[in-house]
């Protein structure tokens, strides 16, 4: 049985504290179920320019707290926190505290990290993909132990959390865990461990570019769902599958828009039209397309960017909860 549709907003920037609070309140008022950001650090300069990534003006953890304080019902989270940027026990404590102060509205997202130039710019070693994913697994174990019962006793080459109980305890049984990525091993771990699997590009190049976009075509997303299924086994139907609709344009000029946008990603217009991270067309068309993709992939949780929050709201009003 298909899961009901949910929708989230992801924002990278705020011009002021008042602007950030207003973004979160607007997302809540428009019926979005969650307000997210990403986890990036560096501002304008040669390090960021090399990544082709937009500036994120606010830090993830405090921005989540402010968004929670400004709202009353919407969930707050991050797609996704980079495990390499924080001590695992401290990260677990911070997440538990956000859950505590928000009365259980946290969606906690974890990832292995990928933006190579950012690592270099802030002095964090950019280890091999295998080592980063190992650290992700260890961090998942610490976070789960913090939100569970009894003392934490986890010690390996990546984390050390021994001889104490995690506090505060969750408001509800445990906030949902989102794990994001686009490569086989990460998605297998997500299938095994996550409540929400966030589909993303394969960002092994360490920067945004055509290679990443090309790693998430319709056919390759079918393959990714298979990796999630392999990791999940019998629990696959319990998992909520989320995707970032990075290329969203609500328009009645669909063909013209596809023709203009497709060359930017090195794709043919028909390939971009079917790309799971793209939603281009009228409200009615997008609604039908999301239903088709839910049937094909199981994707029921869609995140759009702040810039399209208002124009996409009629889709949310039409489909949320159905």
pLDDT of 236-284, one tens digit each? 999 999 999 999 999 999 999 999 999 988 899 999 999 999 999 999 9
Model confidence pLDDT, tens digit, residues 189-240: 999 999 999 999 887 776 777 777 888 999 999 999 999 999 999 999 999 9
Give the residue-averaged pLDDT of 170-180. Answer: 94
- pLDDT mean across residues, the chain: 96
Judge whether 131 lies within some domain. yes
Judge whether 211 lies within some domain. yes
Q: What is the pLDDT of residue 209?
A: 76
Judge whether 146 lies within some domain. yes
Judge whether 152 lies within some domain. yes
Judge whether 57 lies within some domain. yes
**Cα dihedral across residues 248, 251, 252, 257: positive or negative:** negative
- CATH number for position 173: 3.20.20.30
Model confidence pLDDT, tens digit, residues 300-315: 999 999 999 999 999 9
CA-atom Rg of the chain in angstroms: 19
Q: Which helix (H) or strand (E) holds 6?
A: strand 6-10
Model confidence pLDDT, tens digit, residues 43-102: 999 999 998 899 999 999 999 999 999 999 999 999 999 999 999 999 999 999 999 999
Model confidence pLDDT, tens digit, residues 5-40: 999 999 999 999 999 999 999 999 999 999 999 999
Q: What is the pLDDT of residue 2?
A: 87
0.75 exceeded by pTM: yes
Judge whether 1 lies within some domain. no
Measured between alpha carbons, how far is 108 from 105 in angstroms, rounded to an integer? 10
Judge whether 195 lies within some domain. yes
Judge whether 17 lies within some domain. yes
**167 in Cβ contact with 188 (< 8 Å):** no
Model confidence pLDDT, tens digit, residues 92-106: 999 999 999 999 999
* Domain hosting residue 249, numbered range: 6-319
Q: What is the pLDDT of residue 203?
A: 76
Q: What is the pLDDT of residue 313?
A: 98
Closest CA to 240 of 103, 81, 67, 109: 109
- For the stretch 301-322, what's the b/e string if a residue is b when 16 or more beta carbons lie within 10 angstroms of its beta carbon? bbbbbbebbeebbbbbeebbee
**Cα dihedral across residues 170, 176, 182, 183: positive or negative:** positive
Number of domains comprising the chain: 1
**296 pLDDT tier (thresholds 50, 70, 90):** very high
Share of the chain above pLDDT 90, in %: 93
Mutual orientation of helices 129-147 and 88-101 as an angle, nearest 10°? Answer: 50
């Amino acid at each position: 049985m298909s899961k009901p549709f949910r929708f989230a907003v992801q924002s990278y920037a705020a011009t002021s504290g008042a602007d950030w609070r207003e973004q979160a309140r607007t997302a809540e008022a428009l019926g979005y179920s969650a307000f997210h950001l990403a986890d990036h650090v560096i501002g304008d300069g040669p390090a960021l320019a090399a990544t082709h990534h937009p500036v994120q003006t606010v830090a993830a953890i405090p921005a989540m707290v402010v968004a929670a304080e400004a709202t009353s019902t919407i969930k707050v989270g991050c797609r996704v926190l980079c495990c390499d940027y924080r001590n695992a026990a401290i990260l677990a404590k911070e997440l538990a505290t956000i859950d505590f102060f928000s009365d259980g509205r946290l969606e906690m997202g974890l990832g292995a990290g990928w933006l190579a130039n950012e690592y270099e710019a802030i002095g964090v070693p950019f280890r091999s993909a295998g080592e980063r994913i190992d650290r992700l697994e260890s961090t998942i174990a610490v976070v789960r132990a913090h939100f569970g019962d009894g003392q934490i006793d986890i010690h390996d080459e990546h984390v050390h959390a021994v001889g104490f109980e995690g506090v505060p305890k969750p408001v509800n049984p445990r906030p949902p865990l989102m794990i994001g990525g686009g490569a086989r091993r990460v998605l297998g771990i997500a299938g095994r461990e996550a409540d929400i699997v966030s589909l993303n590009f394969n960002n092994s190049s360490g920067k945004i570019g055509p290679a990443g976009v090309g790693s998430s075509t319709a056919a390759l997303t079918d393959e990714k769902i298979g990796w999630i299924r392999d990791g999940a086994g019998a629990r696959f139907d319990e998992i909520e599958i989320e995707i970032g609709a990075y290329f969203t344009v609500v328009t009645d000029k669909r063909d013209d828009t596809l023709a203009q946008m497709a060359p930017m990603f090195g794709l043919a217009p028909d390939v971009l039209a079917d790309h799971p991270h793209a939603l281009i067309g009228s409200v009615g068309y997008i609604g039908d397309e999301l239903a088709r993709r839910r049937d094909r992939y199981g994707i029921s949780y869609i995140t759009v960017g702040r810039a399209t929050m208002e124009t996409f709201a009629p889709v949310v009003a039409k489909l949320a909860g159905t």
